[in-house]
Copies of this chain bind each other. A is one copy, B any other.
């Protein structure tokens, strides 16, 4: 059992926070709401970035970088956008400090006041579309398929490591198209990329669907999302892709000449995922022993630990271990041989379990005699003694199996915790007991949606793309409904 106190079932929120701190993934900083992403947490983000970046490039996108600062006036141009972000902005008003005349330290120099305040970007549609205006004249300049890796700031009052922080890291795609159809296709393409990443790399099953009007991105015509279920029965939005219509083109006057010579406004999308995904990864798979990392995102896939009494034993073991390590590395499997003499094997076992390393190999003197190894998998904690021939093939297959197993376990959990509910009493009962995903009928009005939220804190996570047409009655109003939507309490 790992050396942190809180068990998952006792206090999920504390278990999560303990886990993030004890694994040294992240911690709170001296600045309210801002976290420090420590090397272990950041190395997982680097793995995520590498895969996502590859996927973005494979779908034709390129990276660029736009300013951190957004002039205040840009914000007001798209009415819903400003409404959505104005209340949580960090605002730069001055550009110089001076020595404090009353002594001790520095103070803001009042003579260095900006003419127009600058907002730290909470998202970059406005500053980007202001640039696109100069880049786009004709349909020949389209599409523009740009992604940006950046930090953004939203002044959240209640923060939690990775899940909700004032500053976070993310990527934001911003594309410009000649036709509505192309932009809509792009919006779908990118939500599919996100779903592919979540399922095949994070081992996280997700539901793809439309957001309701009240849950849409501020300034979007349509928002698609992927929603995942965490182990405490709450939903987590893991990525969004927005069809922005011509809203930002109109706000920033971005027009182009189409093939027929007619002037029209440009069509837009934007889409993003953030360091929040690290929170999802933890909350979906981790257990009382610590993290459980899917092999495809694990910074370290295999650790090899020697078990020995004296130097002679260690030397023999090291020979075998280093050969295995080299063979694994040559096969593209990241591995480490931990022969530090400062810690006992048992301590190391617990530490790598805590860190979620998918496979542990232990080698002792008897293994050397017998030509064997002990292989332990993190996901099930099962151990097995095997012959030391064909190690690479075995480990390679095992990593694949772990990747699948973690996914299947999460899928099974979701299936067990998805409830088809027909009436209000059952709806409340599910929320108050197990939590989970609730597929239920809704009358389609924002009023009902709002009332359900007020009374239960459950929201419509999405209208799943694959939710079939079906006659039913709204669980709240009893009015007719054509399809079920996905309700849950959420992060």
Contacts and interface: CB of A to CB of B under 8 A. Distances in A.
Interface of A: 27, 29-31, 34-39, 42-43, 45-46, 62-76, 82, 86-99, 104-106, 108, 117-120, 127, 130-131, 134, 140, 146, 150-151, 153, 155, 167, 169, 342
Given A73-B105, A118-B90, A127 B29 contact: yes
A93 B97 CA distance: 12
- Which of A62, A68, A98, A108 has the most B CB atoms < 10 Å from its CB? A68
A64 B76 contact: no
Given A62-B43, A67-B34, A108 B90 contact: no
Given A96-B88, A146-B39, A66 B105 contact: no
Contacts of A140: 342
Nearest to A153: B68
Given A42-B65, A64-B36, A98 B118 contact: no
Contacts of A93: 91-94, 108
A34 B146 contact: no
8 closest A-B pairs by CB = A76-B105, A34-B67, A86-B97, A39-B62, A37-B65, A95-B155, A91-B94, A93-B93
Contacts of A98: 86-87
A97 B89 contact: yes
A77 to B, nearest CB: 9
Contacts of A134: 27
Nearest to A77: B105
A169 B65 contact: yes
A95 B166 CA distance: 11
A interface: dominant SS? mixed
A69 B64 CA distance: 23
Given A69-B167, A92-B120, A93-B108, 4 more contacts: A31-B69, A39-B146, A68-B153, A95-B155
B68 A34 contact: yes
Contacts of A96: 86-89, 91, 155
A168 B237 CA distance: 32
Contacts of A87: 96-98
Contact of A39 (B64, B76, B342): B64
Contact of A97 (B72, B104, B146): B72
B97 A36 contact: no
A106 B30 contact: no
B86 A63 contact: no
A63 B90 CA distance: 26
B89 A95 contact: yes
A31 B71 contact: yes
8 contacts: A30-B71, A31-B71, A42-B63, A43-B62, A68-B167, A75-B97, A91-B92, A91-B96
B86 A91 contact: no
A92 B92 contact: yes
A68 B151 contact: yes
A86 B108 CA distance: 9
Nearest to A53: B46
A31 B64 contact: no
A122 to B, nearest CB: 11
Nearest to A105: B76
B63 A43 contact: yes
A126 to B, nearest CB: 10
A38 B63 contact: no
Given A76-B104, A119-B97, A64 B38 contact: yes
B95 A90 contact: yes
Nearest to A146: B39
A312 B354 CA distance: 64
A66 B36 contact: yes
B127 A30 contact: yes
A138 to B, nearest CB: 11
Contacts of A42: 62-65
A390 B96 CA distance: 61
Contacts of A64: 36-39, 42
Nearest to A144: B39
